[in-house]
Amino acid sequence: MNLQIAVQLYTLREEMEKDFIGTLEKVAEVGYSGVEFAGYGGLKAAEMRKTLDRLGLEAAASHVSIENLKNDLDEVIKYNREIGNKYIVCPWNQYTSKNDYLLTADFFNEVGKKCSDEGLVFCYHNHAHEFEKYDGKYGLDIIYDNTNKNYVMAEIDVYWVKYAGIEPSEYLKKFIKRLPLIHLKDMEREDKSFTEIGNGIIDFGEIIKIAKMNGTEWFIVEQDLCKRSPLESIKISFDNLKKIMKEEY
């Protein structure tokens, strides 16, 4: 299994605002194989592709708001094809009823088919609120039960699964061959706050085993809030994750 490690650039949002390309250079220096975008810093696709190639980084995925998916999907697809990115990810949506989930599933099927027709893969990224239950079923499960597995894949965020009171390694078993991307972040025991991978309570060894079974392509490190420099945090997470992966292999 060629499972690579990327970083979600939202973690470095303040650094990216000040120096987008310089921050990418620092990510490459840490040793990451790829990056997951949360915006493109105003760079045109050709310049972005040139920068990634120069730094030896791959475009692992792009987070694209549901508004942009609705209003600008053609441009999203065009840009990501040009930078060599395969995965388009919806990072967030709000729901107030079971019908909201069903309507979202219908929309995701449309987006996923269009992405598939263009050689891309569409995924959805969860938070904790999708684990509300409707008729005994998690909202997130309603989405995946009502979408075509060939058009809508999963980018499960293990922190938010844990936050919802569910063991991530058990939940991930639902997504055999439907889990190309996994978001990794760790959780402090005392207050459930974010921490670096390996410094908290999440069992990443079991998650790695499930990823191997699923044929997952990318582990994507993210830390929404850091108690130290975000660049220091992503290095700690990278080094610890590499060590855990080595132990599991």
Question: What is the tens place of the pLDDT at every residue in 163-176?
Answer: 999 999 999 999 98
| Strand-pair partners of 4 | 218
The CATH code of the domain that includes 171 is: 3.20.20.150
Pairing status of strand 133-134 against strand 137-138: antiparallel
In tens, the pLDDT along 62-109 reads: 999 999 999 999 999 999 999 999 999 999 999 999 999 999 999 999
What pLDDT is recorded for position 248? 75
Token output for 28: 């490459």
Dist CA 8 CA 190 (whole Å): 25
What would the pLDDT profile of 141-160 be if each residue is shown by its tens digit?
999 999 999 999 999 999 99
pLDDT at 205 over 60: yes
In whole numbers, what is the pLDDT of the chain averaged over residues? Answer: 97
Question: Which 3-state string (H, E, C) describes the chain?
Answer: CCCEEEEEHHHHHHHHHHCHHHHHHHHHHHCCCEEEECCCCCCCHHHHHHHHHHHCCEEEEEECCHHHHHHCHHHHHHHHHHCCCCEEEECCCCCCCHHHHHHHHHHHHHHHHHHHHCCCEEEEECCCHHHCEECCEEHHHHHHHCCCCCCEEEEEEHHHHHHCCCCHHHHHHHHCCCCCEEEECEECCCCCCEECCCCCCCCHHHHHHHHHHHCCCEEEECCCCCCCCHHHHHHHHHHHHHHHHHHHC
Given a cut of 90, is residue 2 above it in pLDDT?
Answer: no
Is the pLDDT confidence value at 1 over 70? no
Domain that residue 230 falls in: 4-248
Q: Which two tokens stand for residue 215?
A: 């044929």
Q: What total of structural domains would you count in the chain?
A: 1
Distance CA 13, CA 19 (A): 10
**Average pLDDT for 129-140:** 98
User: 131 vs 123, 128, 150, CA distance in Å?
Assistant: 17, 6, 23
pLDDT at 247: 87
Mean pLDDT of 100-129: 98
Give the residue from 34, 42, 28 showing the smallest Cα distance to 8: 34
